Amino acid sequence: MELDVYQLAAFTAESFGGNPAAVIPLDSWIDDELMQKIAAENNLSETAYFVPTGDGEWEIRWFTPTVEIDLCGHGTLASAAVIRLLGHDVWPITLRSKSGHLKVDVSADQFVLDFPSSPPYQIDVPEGLEDALGTQVNDCLQGGEMLLVALDDELAVATLRPDFGKLAGIIEHGLIITSRGDEVDFVSRFFAPAIGIDEDPATGSAHCVLTPYWSAILLKGTLEARQISSRVGYLVCEDAGDRTLIKGSTVFFLSGTITV
């Protein structure tokens, strides 16, 4: 079997920035175990697969190197760019996923993701979290499957050095660290060692939690955001009530063929 594969960086306009994702277009679904093995071989935070299901509609799935996940922003952004590359020119499109129907539109050379919002709520600090992060945690919230920790400033976010082994035993899915930004509205980092991703460099789904959180604090509907990992991601987010709109760019890196 031969499969086409594309690799793109999402949420960046520059090569070697943002979050790299592999995208594999399919005519019909292949075996789940094979998709997981391919994702492990790709060894990127996500490999996305999509299958056409109707006019302007596809079903989409995402795999980390170790598990399938329910929602992935950068993999969706990269998939939309591949759908456009393959000749689709009527937008918006619909992507059916385990998180419901997702819309993607085109705005000039950028894509706009229409995702469900996950406004976070206050929780007690999980036992062992401060030790795993190496810092005091004063504000801990839960949004969907993700935890969110707010720190005092951008420097505190940038210099955080978690113990990923300890963190994997505490956080089942992902942990967002955030603060106000020095040059943008807010910054963040995202850690998910329990699902095979120590640090993800530009996480669209995390911004479904971050956008309603910061929109309420800053009293702004549209916010500029940076994810300040070693590969910086840039996103423009809009709080649309029960939906979060996330705008970003992509850069193509490679295309090829997988033989399995």
Domains of the chain: 2-115+246-259 (3.10.310.10), 121-241 (3.10.310.10)
Instruction: List, as one string, the DSSP characters of 221-234.
Output: SEEEEEE-SSS-EE
Distance CA 109, CA 125 (A): 41
The strand pair at 57-63 and 93-97 is best described as: parallel
**pLDDT per residue as tens, the chain (260 positions):** 999 999 999 999 999 999 999 999 999 999 999 999 999 999 999 999 999 999 999 999 999 999 999 999 999 999 999 999 999 999 999 999 999 999 999 998 899 999 999 999 999 999 999 999 999 998 999 999 999 999 999 999 999 999 999 999 999 999 999 999 999 999 999 999 999 999 999 999 999 999 999 999 999 999 999 999 999 999 999 999 999 999 999 999 999 999 99
Q: Which of 2, 46, 130, 224 is catalytic?
A: 46
Residue identified by tokens 């093995």 is 37
Distance CA 173, CA 146 (A): 6
What is the pLDDT at residue 108? 84
**Active site includes 46?**
yes
Q: What is the pLDDT of residues 130-156, one digit of tens each?
A: 999 999 998 999 999 999 999 999 999
Report the Cα 33 to chain-centroid distance in Å.
23
Distance CA 26, CA 40 (A): 18
pTM over cut 0.85: yes
